[in-house]
Amino acid sequence: MSFQNNCDKLGFMETEFLAYMRKNNYIEAGDGILAGVSGGADSVCLLLLLHRLQEEIPFALAAAHVNHGIRGESAGRDQKFVKELCAGLGIPCYVETQNVPALAAMWHKSEEEAGREVRYRFFERLCREHGFQKVAVAHNRDDNTETVLHNLFRGTGIDGMTGIPSDRPGLIRPLLPFSRAQIESYLKQKNQPFCVDESNADLHYTRNKIRNLVMPAVRQVNARAETHILEFGSQAAEIADYLNRQTHSALLHYTGQPAQEEGTNAVLLRDSLRQEHPVIQKRVIRECLFRLAGQTKDISALHVELVQKLWEKQTGRRVSLPYRLTARRTYDGIVLEKTPDQTAEESEVKTAGQEEIRIPDLSDGRPFACDLHGNHFILQIKCEKIQNLPQKMYTKWLDYDKIERPLAIRSPRKGDYLVINEAGDRKKLRRYLIDEKIPAEERTLLPVLADGSHILWVIGHRISAYYRITEETHRVLAVQWMKEQER
């Protein structure tokens, strides 16, 4: 399957390709370029154009193909096609075979994510072993448009609207200016076949839905819609660049840590950050969370807003976040910190919206008051029962001596339970809430009084039988509760 060069002069697409490569200084004489080649139209086109470019600029070229172990005979067919194509062009071809489904299960990732990681690990290894300066991949103009929409639908914010970057250190995307139609037209002119991945029609994948369902409808709305989407992406990139510069300046001013290394344990967001525009506030918070966590996945706009709202709360309030991160209101501002690994018994999956208030030691008899999700609480150790409580206020009496850990008022978590009878039988809190027919959307905001995973009181509902007052009770914990609007 040799390269069919029908004329000595460069064709239109070849000319545009060369101009784009030179404009961005993607290739210099003597470079070594590794092209990722799946066998599909895009990557085959990329390989042919790079091969043709060698006649204009002397550089070394090789191909890398990954068999993901997903599509059985079809994957084997694609591998054979790529090897024969490269042999016909006189281009070295490196092949990697991996069981991506098994790796995805091991890494707790989707097959798409695992496949991408396998590919780029393979590319990086080949670059180290053979001295390639850059890896060329075949994302095109249509991919870029679909990425902008995909990120918009996922709610990634302005940074996600910038689309696919044309390059990053060690990687180039020379086909970004070209549409899928231009690519297939070029291959047709060259009489060059390519492989068709049947999974591209599978609407189970979000990108395929966008490509096969959304984009045809978008073109009916406006024939130039794709151009407008990419123009928006370009504007978003400029805006994001400006905001990033402002964010890094604010990060230095309000945290004193301009180049903080990942893996640090705590950051103080000074109260003076509140004078900045909310956009800068949120970006500084998000950047600090990213650096503490060491990764960006699972940190959403909701988590940033939960931290931001702590500025309106009293000292001591805190919010639980992904990756064992917590945000705590202090006199000086908000402390973001990463807590040590928990024991298996204490470890819980914390989700967006979960907030907790830790209760101090009440042994001295002084009352402690706090608020959570529109609820007001007063906790105090009592030596005798109090009569004539206000009618709108609810009070529970609990055995303080049976409490084993620091108390907390918080949202429900995985692993929470109650003791439901005098025999000590347990019931999972989740099952109790379902049995009580409490709607799922209300459960995450339902406050509970907790001793570790043992729930003393589901606020507004029942208490755990374990903490009921008995004749042996010495210290009584009085917990008063009322809705904020009833105060």
CATH classification at residue 88? 3.40.50.620
387 plus 457 within the same structural domain: yes
Residue 259 has pLDDT above 70, yes or no: no
- The verdict on residue 348 lying in a domain is no
Residue 463 has pLDDT above 70, yes or no: yes
- The verdict on residue 352 lying in a domain is no
55 plus 195 within the same structural domain: yes
- The C-alpha atoms of residue 4 and residue 27 are separated, in whole angstroms, by 23
User: Whose structure tokens read 């049976």?
Assistant: 402
Beta strands in 87-182 (DSSP E): 93-97, 134-136, 167-168, 171-172
Could you tell me the pLDDT band of residue 6, with boundaries at 50, 70 and 90? Answer: very low
Residues paired with 378 in a beta bridge? 369, 480
8 A C-beta contact, residue 317 and residue 334: no
Q: Which of 43-52, 94-103, 330-339, 382-391 comes out lowest in average pLDDT?
A: 382-391
- According to the model, what pLDDT value does residue 445 have? 74
Residue 263 has pLDDT above 60, yes or no: no
- Region 138-166 average pLDDT: 89
Please work out, in degrees rounded to the nearest 5, the angle formed at the alpha carbon of residue 482 by the alpha carbons of 481 and 487.
135
191 plus 121 within the same structural domain: yes
- According to the model, what pLDDT value does residue 344 have? 33
- Region 449-462 average pLDDT: 91
Q: Which of 80-84, 298-302, 428-432, 445-449 comes out lowest in average pLDDT?
A: 298-302
- According to the model, what pLDDT value does residue 205 have? 74
- The verdict on residue 4 lying in a domain is no
324 plus 425 within the same structural domain: no
More confident residue, 132 or 358: 132
pLDDT more than 70, % of the chain: 89
Domain extent at residue 369: 358-486
- The verdict on residue 2 lying in a domain is no
Could you tell me the pLDDT band of residue 481, with boundaries at 50, 70 and 90? Answer: confident
The winner for highest mean pLDDT among 5-9, 272-276, 399-403 is: 272-276
397 plus 285 within the same structural domain: no
To the nearest whole number, what is the mean pLDDT of the chain?
Answer: 84
Could you tell me the pLDDT band of residue 341, with boundaries at 50, 70 and 90? Answer: low
pLDDT more than 90, % of the chain: 44
- According to the model, what pLDDT value does residue 260 have? 46
Residue 230 has pLDDT above 90, yes or no: yes
Using only the alpha carbons of the chain, give its radius of gyration: 30
277 plus 191 within the same structural domain: no
45 plus 113 within the same structural domain: yes
298 plus 330 within the same structural domain: yes
- The C-alpha atoms of residue 333 and residue 275 are separated, in whole angstroms, by 12
End position of a domain, from candidates 338, 369, 389: 338
400 plus 294 within the same structural domain: no
- Region 47-76 average pLDDT: 91
- The verdict on residue 87 lying in a domain is yes
- Region 106-121 average pLDDT: 86
- Region 247-257 average pLDDT: 85
- The C-alpha atoms of residue 39 and residue 93 are separated, in whole angstroms, by 12
> What token pair was written down for 185?
């037209």
Q: Tens digit of pLDDT for each residue in 64-95?
A: 999 988 877 888 899 999 999 999 999 999 99
79 plus 124 within the same structural domain: yes
More confident residue, 456 or 406: 456
Beta strands in 192-276 (DSSP E): 266-270
Residue 3 has pLDDT above 60, yes or no: no
3-class secondary structure per residue, 171-183: EECCCCCCCHHHH
Residue 182 has pLDDT above 50, yes or no: yes
> What token pair was written down for 301?
């706009």
Amino acid symbol at 363: S
CATH number at residue 305: 3.30.465.60
177 plus 298 within the same structural domain: no
8 A C-beta contact, residue 78 and residue 195: yes
- The verdict on residue 440 lying in a domain is yes
DSSP state of 159: G
More confident residue, 128 or 383: 128
Long-range contacts, stretch 322-327, CB < 8 angstroms, 24+ apart: 322/293, 322/298, 322/350, 323/292, 323/293, 323/294, 323/295, 323/298, 323/299, 325/289, 325/292, 325/293
- The verdict on residue 188 lying in a domain is yes
The predicted model scores a pTM of 0.63
Q: Which of 26-30, 109-113, 316-320, 481-485 comes out lowest in average pLDDT?
A: 481-485
Could you tell me the pLDDT band of residue 345, with boundaries at 50, 70 and 90? Answer: very low
Number of domains in the chain: 3
- The verdict on residue 254 lying in a domain is no
- The C-alpha atoms of residue 258 and residue 293 are separated, in whole angstroms, by 17
- According to the model, what pLDDT value does residue 71 have? 76
Residue 128 has pLDDT above 80, yes or no: yes
End position of a domain, from candidates 190, 214, 231: 231
End position of a domain, from candidates 177, 210, 231: 231
- According to the model, what pLDDT value does residue 469 have? 87
84 plus 198 within the same structural domain: yes
